[in-house]
């Protein structure tokens, strides 16, 4: 990373390639979050925490249903 001096201090400056890479990574993460949210029947604005909570709740329901079938 290049550095420049500003008010007597070194300031790291990211390159254009690095900035573009970071933007592509952020965009890919957002698209993935939207895809997972829509697949789980949540609005596309759902956060990763909401997606995780929804999936954990669904797994608990499946596990309790399987346990109930075993007890029958």
Q: How confident is the model at residue 1 (pLDDT cuts 50, 70, 90)?
A: low
- Taking CA atoms, 12 is separated from 5, 6, 7, 32, in Å, by 9, 10, 13, 30
Report whether 8 contacts 1 (CB < 8 A): no
pLDDT for 6 equals 74
What does the pLDDT look like over 25-72, one tens digit per residue? 999 999 999 999 999 999 999 999 999 999 999 999 999 988 888 887
Three-class SS of residue 46? coil
CA gap 55, 51 in Å, rounded: 6
Domain that holds residue 38: 2-71
Number of separate domains in the chain: 1
Q: What's the confidence (pLDDT) of residue 17?
A: 86
pLDDT at 45: 93
12 vs 55, which has greater pLDDT? 55
Do residues 70 and 63 touch, judged by C-beta distance below 8 A? Answer: no
Say how far apart CA 22 and CA 6 lie, in whole Å: 24
């Amino acid at each position: 990373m290049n550095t420049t001096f500003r008010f007597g201090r070194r300031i790291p400056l990211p390159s254009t390639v690095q900035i573009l890479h970071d933007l592509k990574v952020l965009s890919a993460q957002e698209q993935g979050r939207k895809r997972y949210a829509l697949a789980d029947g949540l609005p596309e604005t759902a956060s990763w925490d909401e997606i995780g909570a929804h999936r954990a709740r669904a797994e608990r329901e499946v596990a309790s249903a399987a346990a109930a079938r075993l007890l029958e």
